[in-house]
Amino acid sequence: MGYRLAGRKAKEEKTVIRVGNTVVGGDHLTIIAGPCAVENRDRYIQAASQLKKMGVQMLRGGAFKPRTSPYAFQGLAVEGLEILAEAKRVTGLPIVTEVMDTRDVDKVAGFADVLQIGSRNMQNFILLKEVGRVNKPVLLKRGLSATIEEWLMAAEYIMAEGNSQIIMCERGIRTFETHTRNTLDISAVPAIKHLSHLPVIVDPSHAAGKWGMVAPLAKASIAAGADGLLIEVHPCPEEALCDGGQSLTPGNFAELMEEIIPVAEAVGRKCHDKVKLLVKKSVI
């Protein structure tokens, strides 16, 4: 077995990662949400403030955006990081954002609470080593067509450099199916739980590629044992510069937050009291 540090043989008890006042991998379900990309200051701060009201524990948003087309919106770079920092000041919520280049690791780490490694970079071994030398939690997305072992080996690269604060993120893999953007591998959740001590969350937005499928996939992920969810929420999805078709509106997201409570409790997972309270009285 190549994943000596990430595997159960290295550590039987589950790893719990603290990010500010939030814990990932504990008894409570962790919800990370926000627009796919930071598009402009006003819109992102608006979204962040709404999500805060609904009990979200961390904000997501891309300042650097890897896109299939070189002509698509690539993010605001440093300006985007500064907007994320402002959103953190306004809401008090930790920030999750992607780092794509070894040259940007220190820069992004100066703003972010969690460094995201996107699916396209899961086997960018030089980048993995670099974030392994940073004392910040890393959210490691599964590669486009990566096996579970390859995914765990990517985590091993980070851990071998001294950083054991890794959150595994299943976001769907590429199969022959074309109806959805990717195929969500629900079995990856219990598989990681069996093979590794690291926490695992699910990104149903990128798995489905269609906003109407996000809620059922989110609830299925919780039922399978996921430690949390990473969900794209945008104030005006039809105007989004990136992945609007898979983004929930704040209203749809509020409904989902209420719906996941009984699912989480049914499998012994607690929802933060703040989520229960605020989702009922949130004003969008």
- With 0-12 CB in 10 A as exposed, 13-18 as middle and 19+ as buried, what is 178? exposed
Q: Which residues does residue 248 pair with via DSSP β-bridges, in sequence order?
A: 233
Compute the mean pLDDT over every residue in the chain, rounded to the nearest whole number: 94
Phi-psi region of 276 (alpha: psi -120 to 50; beta: other; left: phi over 0): alpha
Region 169-182: what's the mean pLDDT? 97
- Per residue in 187-214, pLDDT tens? 999 999 999 999 999 999 999 999 999 9
The percentage of residues in the chain with a pLDDT greater than 70, rounded to a whole number, is 95
pLDDT score recorded for residue 2: 82
Centroid of chain to Cα 33: 8
**Per-residue model confidence (pLDDT) at position 66:** 84
Rg from Cα positions in the chain? 17
Q: What's the confidence (pLDDT) of residue 97?
A: 98
pLDDT for 280: 53
pLDDT classification of 284: cutoffs 50, 70, 90: very low
* pTM of the full structure: 0.95
User: Looking at the predicted structure, is the pLDDT value of residue 217 above 60?
Assistant: yes
Enumerate residues 6+ apart whose C-beta is below 8 A from 283: 53
- Percent of the chain whose pLDDT exceeds 90: 89
Residue with tokens 């891309």: 62
Q: Tokens 């399978």 identify what position?
A: 224
- For the stretch 123-173, pLDDT in tens is 999 999 999 999 999 999 999 999 999 999 999 999 999 999 999 999 999
**HSE, side-chain direction, 13 A CA sphere, residue 46:** 12
Burial of 138 (0-12, 13-18, 19+ CB in 10 A): buried
Question: CA separation (Å) from 267 to 16, 18, 115, 138, 219?
Answer: 19, 22, 29, 26, 11
Predicted confidence band of residue 77 (pLDDT cuts 50, 70, 90): very high
User: pLDDT per residue over 227-282, tens digit each?
Assistant: 999 999 999 999 999 999 999 999 999 999 999 999 999 999 988 665 655 555 54
Q: Cβ distance 274 to 92 under 8 Å? A: no
Domains of the chain: 17-67+83-281 (3.20.20.70)
Whether residue 73 contacts residue 239, with contact meaning beta carbons closer than 8 Å, is answered with no
| Token pair recorded at residue 260 | 């996941």
Contacts 24+ apart (CB under 8 A), 277-281: 277/55, 278/53, 278/54, 278/55, 279/54, 279/55, 279/254
Q: What is the mean pLDDT of residues 68-78?
A: 91
Helices (H), the chain: 41-53, 78-91, 105-109, 125-132, 148-160, 188-195, 204-208, 211-223, 250-266, 273-281
pLDDT in tens, 7-58: 999 998 999 999 999 999 999 999 999 999 999 999 999 999 999 999 999 9
> What does the pLDDT read at residue 277?
57
Both tokens assigned to 274: 């703040």
First to last CA, the chain: 49
The whole-angstrom separation of Cα 25 and Cα 202 is 13
